[in-house]
Amino acid sequence: MRPAHTARDRALKELYAALRRAGAPEAVLDLYNDPAVYTRDTRTRVRGQYFLTSRTAHGGAILETGSVPVHNTEAAVRLVLEMASAAGPRSA
């Protein structure tokens, strides 16, 4: 594994753990396909030195994006939770 992937994976694991502690809805860590942390209607990836979070519609269209420096996991958690709550509850 290349050093960049190691740093990316470590950042995603830290974000995932912080989101679980914060009670993020439906948090999932995927390090294999498209490495990211997923929550209800959000996807957070690492691009360079930033967490890039996208809120998506149920059909997959990106509705909004935000970025936070990787070293600021707490701010990334707040961003993800804000975007996940903006998505509203899912209908059954």
Q: What is the pLDDT of residues 59-76, one digit of tens each?
A: 889 999 999 999 999 999
Q: Which two tokens stand for residue 18?
A: 């912080």
State the helix-helix crossing angle for 3-21 and 73-86, rounded to 10 degrees.
60
The helix, strand and coil proportions of the chain, stated in percent and rounded to the nearest 5, come to 35, 30, 35
pLDDT of 3 above 90:
no
pTM: 0.88
Report phi then psi at 51, rounded to 5.
Answer: -80, 130
pLDDT at 60: 82
- Backbone φ and ψ for 43, nearest 5 degrees, come out as -140, 130
Residue 6 has pLDDT above 60, yes or no: yes
Strand order in the sheet with 62-69: 28-30, 36-39, 42-47, 50-56, 62-69
Q: Decide: 22 and 84 in contact? Cβ < 8 Å.
A: no
